[in-house]
Amino acid sequence: MTAPSTTGLDERLAAVLCYSVWWVTGGLFLILERQHRTVRFHAAQSLVLFGAISVMLLALGAVSALALMLSSQVYQLVRAMGDLLWAGAAVIWLVLVLRAWRGDVWRVPLVAALADHVVERTSS
């Protein structure tokens, strides 16, 4: 049995919920959870990782709209890049959710250090 978070939820459930709606629930749990370091890390990692992926997907969408006006080949290439990013994000999301449910903390390379920094800066 894991310790409950300050939100009253079990630590594993809170960690899973941090990833459930990508950066949205990550940001929400970062605000709501004030003390439980593991839950705050999952929240910050979700916010950083899926926030960055969302920005990249938005940028690729804008570029594909412009590419559609210029060249169908460029449009297809940009669209394929967006599809690959989306598929990769879905796999990472699934791994994060499953590992959080098991009580593991997977530190995503390049993202975990920034998530640690976010946790430290937002701690009360």
The pTM of this model reads: 0.88
Q: What digits encode the pLDDT tens for the residues 34-56? A: 889 999 999 999 999 999 999 99
**pLDDT at residue 94 tops 90:** yes
Whole-number Cα distances in Å, 107 to 2, 7, 68, 72, 95: 19, 23, 38, 39, 11
Residues in a beta bridge with 4: 10
